[in-house]
Copies of this chain bind each other. A is one copy, B any other.
Amino acid sequence: MTRADRPLALTLGDPAGIGPDITLLAFEARFRTPIPPFVLLGDPDVLAGRARALGLGVKIKAIADASAALPVFAIALPVLPISVGAPVVTGRPVPANAGAIQQSIEQAVQLVQSGAASAVVTNPISKVTLASAGFGFPGHTEFLAALAGREASDAVMMLVGEGLKVVPVTIHMSLMDVMGALSTERILKTLEITARDVARYFGLARPRIAVTGLNPHAGEDGTMGREEIETIVPAIEAARRLGLDVSGPYPADTLFHAEARKSYDVAVAMYHDQALIPVKTLAFDTGVNVTLGLPFVRTSPDHGTAFALAGTGRASPRSLIEALRLADTMRRNADAAP
């Protein structure tokens, strides 16, 4: 079996959310548009029930081994079964299913680590559901880092959409906390991981990285904040000494229009909204969340569980489809690398 002949491992996410819906819709889309083969890790009965609720004639097939996924994929949605702990009520998450949610992620990582799957794609989970069941991680990224034997700080989130790639240096913290969390060391580490993995997974020998400032107009020579001078510029200079193609800091407001986007391969921003406003403004339905810094490829749709939409037929599979395609593209690029 060549490296290409393996399915993507797709987790089910919270079974009460839209994960089942968009999985079924993405699978069904394969007659109209190329969908890379995947194997779902989750409860086949939940999928079958959701298919009935949505009026979808999708055939679901439980398989015993990931190697059966490819021949099955043309005719049925292949599932490696993980039973839920409690009956699933669509739209109503329960802590009793936290175990099955977690197991799905663990098995996806095992499959990719053993070589049986080519990459991990995750459906949305609810932090609240998992935390109430004692899950000790803020989210997917940190859990995946732990499963891969990495530090949480090794995992770097990148958003991809409409040709734009953006990495926030800090993510889920208050804006007040950003100032204290930014350091030259942290920015430099983010730049190094970004440069290495964007090269590896996107077929770019030496990606051009554009770095934003923290303040308006990138601080305007220190007149509106000194973080650029004291923290960001030293990180850029250190990255350049390592041979990376890094420039900036640029004012964030003028870095994301069409003409500016041509000047770099990936932008590194200082905080959540600075990175996510441009990508979600441009690519709301098609944005993909990528985790860099892991020993395998992981992508996910760039949205949450959307419990209110589960089972209604109004959830769009577009972001999941983009996540499946991007995971497939990224691991093919990595396989093709010298």
Could you tell me which A residues sit within 8 Å of B by CB distance? 171-179, 214-217, 219, 224-227, 252-254, 256-260, 271-274, 276-278, 280-282, 284-285
Contacts and interface: CB of A to CB of B under 8 A. Distances in A.
Given A216-B276, A278-B278, 9 more contacts: A174-B215, A176-B225, A252-B277, A254-B280, A254-B284, A257-B280, A257-B285, A258-B284, A259-B284
Contacts of A257: 280-282, 284-285
Given A253-B273, A273-B252, A216 B281 contact: no
A253 B280 contact: yes
A274 B272 contact: no
Contacts of A225: 174-177
Contact of A282 (B179, B272, B281, B285): B281
Given A284-B258, A284-B260, A172 B224 contact: yes
A256 B272 contact: no
A250 B272 CA distance: 14
Nearest to A270: B175
Contacts of A179: 175-176
Nearest to A212: B273
Contacts of A284: 254, 257-260
Contacts of A277: 252-253, 256, 274, 277-278, 281
A143 B224 CA distance: 20
Contacts of A226: 174
Contacts of A272: 216, 253
A174 B274 contact: no
A256 B176 CA distance: 23
Nearest to A221: B128
Contacts of A273: 216, 252-253, 273-274
Contacts of A224: 172-174
B173 A216 contact: yes
21 contacts: A172-B224, A173-B216, A173-B224, A174-B224, A175-B178, A175-B214, A175-B227, A216-B271, A216-B273, A252-B277, A253-B272, A253-B273, A253-B280, A257-B280, A257-B284, A257-B285, A273-B273, A273-B274, A277-B277, A277-B278, A278-B281
A257 B319 CA distance: 15
Query: Most chain-B Cβ atoms within 10 A of its Cβ — which of A172, A175, A178, A280?
Result: A175
Contacts of A172: 216-217, 224
10 cross-chain pairs, A with B, having the tightest CB-CB distances, nearest first = A174-B225, A257-B284, A253-B276, A216-B272, A256-B281, A253-B280, A277-B277, A174-B215, A252-B273, A174-B224
A331 B15 CA distance: 55
Contacts of A281: 256-257, 277-278, 281-282
Contacts of A216: 171-175, 271-273, 276
Contacts of A219: 174
A219 to B, nearest CB: 7
A252 B172 CA distance: 14
